Structure 1
Amino acid sequence: MPIKNVVVNCTDVARSVEFYTRFLELSVAGEVTSERAVLDAVTATVELRAVGNGREQSTWSPDDLQKGFRHIGFKVDRIDERAAVLKDAGVEFKLDPLDAEGNVRICFFYDPDGTLLEMIQGDLQYAEILDADGVARERALGVPARPRFDHVAVTIEDREATSAYYDRNYGFSFIGTIEQPHDKRGFHIGYLKGGDTVLEVFTYEVDKSARAPQLDVAGFAYAELVGDPPDLPAETAPDGTKVYVDSDGFAFAVGSEA
């Protein structure tokens, strides 16, 4: 089952709609209000919700050794051209376009409220393929006509436990790995595929920090998966949605596929 929706809190819905439609070509789905907008990202939706708290209240850190949410990834074409447009507009980058492990080209930048976004160009060439059918389905999606949602990345403690949990409860198949041999922290990446979407999981062989999810500040709030409610601790989002928190601090809601 896929990631159905990604909820991003923002301090100005109209400003965020302009950002995501202009730079990532997401299309507006339904009515835009000062409180909420839903954007079509091809394989999922990105839901923007207004909050009063700004970026300075968030405890999220761009250090990938902080467990939980890391970034939202979009598959694109023409990554260098797209990055140049972002830079000309003064958008803050964490990482300029470069060729990365797995024979892809990537870059990282921030949305207006500090949510970290990634653009990825090309099909990943995995160090180890664990589900050939899943990899074939991924590659069959082809080069996107416009940027499409690809994944949410999270830092975790135990890849085997995380893979087993999301496979057992939500049908995410562990399709492959990418290694980072030059990273002295012992950095490994696993890819858990559900439908046309992915949970990208980071593991490290050094100590990591923990963070409790914040559902009422600007930035990533939670992902919505397709399936049944889990037996996990839950919090209530400002809109009343029940949000669950896994052992690594990743927040998600569940709903039907429709």
Structure 2
Amino acid sequence: MLQAVHHIAIICADYERSKAFYTEVLGLQIIREVYREERDSWKLDLALGDQYVIELFSFPDPLPRPSHPEACGLRHLAFAVNDIIAAVQTLHSRGVVTETIRIDPYTGKRFTFFTDPDGLPLELYEIQP
């Protein structure tokens, strides 16, 4: 039945700020960007490598949502990295604050959290030993 996760949809408060964060800070590539006049809404399709992963939306006056990692609902979005130290250093050089790197007690893998411009929890999870 299910084959894979197709995409993650994110509604942002400030479209230009979030567009810059996901493309310039995190390095996702733009597949397409459309303005939907009937909804007064931008839709930005983003890819990581050759995989379509995120739809970034703007809407007039979106409702706030609790976004702490332990809030009810979507917990966080995790990105796999080969070298967490290098990835964290890159984020820091781009003005992004990260939590202290922790070790998953079950897998032994290193990970850390940071947030997007709207406070959505994002994670870096190291896939290499």
- Same fold, TM-score > 0.5, yes or no: yes
CA–CA distance in 1 between the matches of 2:101 and 2:34? 32
Paired with 1:99 and 1:63, the residues of 2 have a C-alpha distance of 17
Cα drift, residue 98 of structure 1: 2.8
| Structure 1 residues 135-214: aligned runs within 5 Å | none
> SS at the partner of 2:100?
strand
* CA shift in 2, pair 1:46/1:9, >3 Å: same
1:39 corresponds in structure 2 to 46
In the TM superposition, structure 1's runs of 4+ consecutive aligned residues that sit over 6 Å from their partners are none
Using the TM superposition, give the Cα deviation of residue 114 of structure 1 relative to its aligned residue in structure 2, in angstroms.
1.1
Work out which of the residue numbers 91, 96, 100 in structure 2 matches 1:96.
100
CA drift at 1:103: 1.8
Contact residue 110 and residue 116 of structure 1 kept, 8 A: yes
- The answer to whether structure 1 residue 110 and structure 2 residue 115 are counterparts is yes
How much does 1:32 deviate?
A: 5.1
Q: Matched residue pairs, number?
A: 120
SS at match of 1:120: strand
Partner of 1:193: none
Q: 1:77–1:22: structure 2 CA closer, same or farther, 3 Å change rule?
A: farther
TM-score, with normalisation over the residues of structure 1? 0.41
SS of match in other structure, 1:68? coil
Q: Which residue of 2 aligns with 1:62?
A: 68
Matched, 1:51 2:66: no
In 2, the alpha carbon distance for the partners of 1:123 and 1:88 equals: 22
Q: In the alignment, which of 21, 27, 30 is matched to residue 28 of structure 1?
A: 30
- Of the three residues 11, 14, 17, the one matched with 2:16 is 14
| Larger Cα-atom Rg | 1
Between the two proteins, what is the percent identity of the paired residues? 28
* 2:127 corresponds to: 122
Q: For residue 23 of structure 1, report the CA deviation from its aligned partner.
A: 2.9
Counterpart Cα distance in 2 of 1:63 and 1:113: 13
* Cα 1:99/1:63, change in 2 over 3 Å: closer
Secondary structure of the structure 1 residue equivalent to 2:91? helix
How high is the TM-score relative to the length of structure 2?
0.76
Q: Contact 2:31–2:45 at 8 Å: present in 1 too?
A: yes
Taking the aligned partners of 1:83 and 1:100, their CA distance within structure 2 comes to 17
Q: Aligned partners of 1:15 and 1:60: how far apart in 2?
A: 20
- Residue 10 of structure 2 corresponds to residue 5 of structure 1: no
CA distance in 1, matches of 2:32, 2:61: 25
Q: Report deviation, 1:61.
A: 4.2
Q: Residue 24 of structure 1: CA displacement?
A: 2.5
Describe the shift of the 1:69–1:88 C-alpha distance in structure 2 as closer, same or farther (beyond 3 A).
Answer: same
Runs of 5+ consecutive residues of structure 1 not aligned to the other structure:
125-258
Structure 2 residues not aligned, in runs of 5+ = 36-40
Report if aligned partners of 1:13, 1:36 keep a CA contact under 8 Å in 2: no
Conserved in 2, the CA contact under 8 Å of 1:26 and 1:39?
yes
